[in-house]
Structures are given as structure tokens and as C-alpha cells.
Amino acid sequence: MNSKYEPLFESLTLRSGIQLKNRIVMAPLTNFSSNADGTVSDAEVDYYIRRAKGVGMVITACTYVTPNGKGFAGEFAADSDEMIPSLRRLATALKEQGTKAVLQIFHGGRMCPPELVPYGEIVSASDIAPEQAGAVVPRALTDKEIEALIHAFGETTRRAIEAGFDGVEIHGANGYLVQQFFSPHSNRRNDRWGGSLEKRMAFPLRIVDEVKQIVNKHAKQPFLVGYRLSPEEAETPGITMADTLVFIDALAEKQLDYMHISLMDFWSKPRRGVESTRSRIEIIQERVGHLVPIIGVGSIHTPDDALKAAQTGVPLLALGREIIIEPEWVEKVKQGREAEIRTTVSKDDQARLEIPNPLWQAIINTPGWFPVVEKVRTSE
């Protein structure tokens, strides 16, 4: 291994006692490939096994905590105890590769396709549709339903513990339900769940408390709790960096194992809310990085990209699209073969990369999402 990359391979022990063997994480990425009954498919397990060996931690694609939270076709379920064997199969497969297995828990809220949820009824913090073509106006959740959802996040955490996962990540990013409560765009309530910044923080913070309580009650060995958030929204009104700085201060008091900042580009700068020429991730790292480890993500492709990102002080780096393109990314860096790392995918690569067909179709048919080229490089 080139000695300059050694910082990427240092171990890190999290607050819970979970030790990561290196600083590289497989980011959660929906693969649309589970079975129709919500169980994990063979193709899905093979896809994860292929990518799990080198990284310090795998964060799975999101799983829904209630039937009306299903956000994607081919999303695997964790909304009932019947799903524990399916969850256990995935956790076991990941851990057998020598990585830590983290289940991302989620509710899609107003982003759920009506055809995927019971009676086609979409719910959210308020009856405000997302700003996109064909969007459905959701029904505002009642206070009783909100309490039930908090409980559901806890129940899914219990299932993750029973299935043998090493932790859970609360998905509070990318415009889904937990973020919808924090957002002034989707949350127009005037009760204990909305109306001020502090009240908009109530639902996500209660979920953190519930999940931590369940871990304390049920986990017999170290079990981590992470939280993923998007620092800003494009909409007006929407989440600003100023809002997020208040929120991460509150999250940092919750004794989390990590905070995962969801970005398409690690180096992206704030839209509004703070006056700064620095990137969002650097602002967040300076604000709370001494209290809780930060995971950075977004357009990190090469080992030099990762090294530059690590030099900000952010201790953990997640690879999403890149680990799909290059499943052996960590091994190649470790073996001094970084020149062989691929950063593009060709239209002939599906079988070689063990990518399930639904995900492959999304990659090929979503312009700009992945760097797709016609011909594969000949050298390995």
C-alpha cells in the first residue's frame, strides 16, 4: 500500500464500543431488488457480499418501519417480526465478510408512491405536497399516529438487534418522513410537532430517544445508533444551514455513534443560512465533530479524493456509487493497485459487478446518475 493512504486504514472505535477496521463505509443506496413479499432476495445478498469485504461498515438500503412507509418498489421490509429471518440473512451475510452491518430504518412519508402503500394513502407532517410533477397531497398525521410511528422505529430497532445487525441508522435525510417533520416546507403544523424550529425538531429527536431506549433494553452487546441528515433543502421555505446548525447541536447531545451528512458532493457549499465560503461538511465538522464522529459522502471516487476529504478532519468516508462501480475499491488501495480502480461503468458490466437487474436498469436509464460509458477498460 502507498503509505500516503494509511490514514484511510486506521481503525476507529465508536461510542457504543463497535470498532471499525478502517475509515471507509459503504453508503446506503436503494437497489429496488427485494422480493415481492418484502424479504431480501438472493440477488440482493450477492450484491452486498461482493462489496462488503473491504469496507469497515456497510449501511444497508433503507427498510420501512410501517406498511405505509414503503418508499420504493423492491424495498425490503422490517415492519413486522415475520421479517426477522430475512433481516438475519442479510446481517449474517454482511458480517461473514468481516464488516459491520448497519440497518438503515426509514419511512417515506409524502415521497411514497401511492401504489406501494395501503389504500394508496400518503401521510406526512402536513398536507403539503412535494414540489415535483405529479406529486400527491398527503394527509397530515394525527398526534396518536405520530406516537405510533415513533414506537415503530423502536420496534424495527428491536428487530435489527434480534436479526444480528451491529446497529441502525435513522434515515432523517433526502426528503423522507423524518426530514419532513424538520422541514418548514413540509411541516406547517401548529402543535407540539411544529410551528417553531424547536418543535420541528421534536419528532426526529423523539425517534432518537426511542431507538436508544430500545437498544439499552434489548441489546446484549455493543449496538450503534447513527443518524443521517440532509443539511439543506432547495425549496422556499426549506431547511437552511442555520436550521441545521441548531439541529446538529441537539443531535450531538444524544450520544450518537455517528452523524452521516447526506450530500451529492462532499465539497458542496451552503445555499443560505450561513455566510461562508467553506463546504457544508467542514462547517458541520467544526461545529460538532469533537462531540460525534461525522460520515462524509458525495462524489468520492479515487483514493486521492478520499484522502483529500479525510484531511478536513472528517473521520469516516462513505462510498455510494463508487463502491457499486468498484466493489474491490478498498482491497485495491490496500494492495497498492489504486491505478486499477474503475470510476466508470460500461453497459457490459452488470454480470461482472453482480448488480441486480432492477438497480442495473435504474443505473442505465437514469442519465447523469452514474458515469456510464460504452466500452469497459481492458486492463484489470
Is 139 part of any domain? Answer: yes
Per-residue confidence band for 380, with pLDDT thresholds at 50, 70 and 90 = very low
Torsional sign, CA 89, 95, 99, 102: positive
- Cell 460538532, located at residue: 288
pLDDT at 65: 98
Tell me, letter by letter, the H, E, C secondary structure of 8-48: HHCCEECCCCCEECCCEEECCCCCCCCCCCCCCCHHHHHHH
Angle between helices 143-163 and 202-218 (to 10 degrees): 40
Averaged pLDDT, 13-21: 98
Residue 241 belongs to some domain of the structure: yes
DSSP state of 83: G
330 vs 139: CA distance, rounded Å: 45
Which domain, by its residues, includes 186? Answer: 3-373
Q: What is the pLDDT of residues 176-220, one digit of tens each?
A: 999 999 999 999 999 999 999 999 999 999 999 999 999 999 999
Q: Which DSSP symbol is given to 70? A: -
Residues in Cβ contact with 133 at an 8 Å cutoff, skipping those fewer than 6 apart: none
Q: Are strands 100-106 and 224-229 parallel, antiparallel or unpaired?
A: unpaired
Q: Among 285, 292, 286, 294, which residue's Cα sits nearest to residue 315?
A: 294
Q: What is the pTM of this model?
A: 0.97
Q: Which of 47, 64, 176, 227 is catalytic?
A: 176
Q: Is residue 367 part of a domain?
A: yes
Q: Where are the alpha helices (DSSP H) in the chain?
A: 42-52, 84-95, 143-163, 177-182, 197-200, 202-218, 241-252, 280-288, 303-310, 321-325, 329-334, 350-353, 357-365
66 Cβ contact list (under 8 Å, min separation 6): 79, 107, 149, 152
Confidence of residue 298 (pLDDT cuts 50, 70, 90): very high
- Residue 379: pLDDT above 90? no
Locate all alpha helices (DSSP H) within 253-328, ordered by sequence: 280-288, 303-310, 321-325
Q: What is the mean pLDDT of residues 138-162?
A: 99
Whole-Å CA distances, 357 to 68, 252, 349, 350, 354: 25, 39, 12, 8, 9
Q: Is 12 exposed, middle or buried (0-12, 13-18, 19+ CB in 10 A)?
A: middle
Residue where the block lists cell 466508470: 344
DSSP state of 235: S
Q: 167-172 and 224-229: which strand pairing?
A: parallel
pLDDT of residue 378: 52
Distance of CA 288 to the CA centre of its chain: 19
Give 311-363 pLDDT, tens digit per residue.
999 999 999 999 999 999 999 999 999 999 999 999 999 999 999 999 999 99
Query: How far apart, in whole angstroms, are the C-alpha atoms of residue 325 and residue 350?
Result: 10
In this structure, what C-alpha cell is assigned to residue 60?
A: 444497508
Question: Is 50 exceeded by the pLDDT of residue 165?
Answer: yes
379 occurs within a structural domain:
no
Query: One-letter amino acid identity for 215?
Result: V
pLDDT in tens, 70-116: 999 999 999 999 999 999 999 999 999 999 999 999 999 999 999 99
Is residue 378 assigned to a domain? no
- Mark whether 176 is an active-site residue: yes
Number of structural domains (the chain) is 1
On whether residue 341 sits in a domain, the answer given is yes
pLDDT in tens, 229-252: 999 999 999 999 999 999 999 999
Domain membership flag for residue 309: yes
pLDDT over 70 (residue 377): no
For residue 317, being part of any structural domain is answered with yes
The region, left, alpha or beta by phi > 0 then psi within -120 to 50, assigned to residue 313 is left
pLDDT at residue 376 greater than cutoff 60: no
Is residue 67 helix, strand or coil?
A: helix
* Average pLDDT for the chain: 97
pLDDT category, 275, cuts 50, 70, 90?
confident
The count of other CB atoms within 10 Å of the CB of residue 202 is 18
Specify the CATH number for the domain of residue 326: 3.20.20.70
The residue-averaged pLDDT of 140-152 equals: 98
* Separation of alpha carbons 41 and 275, rounded Å: 47
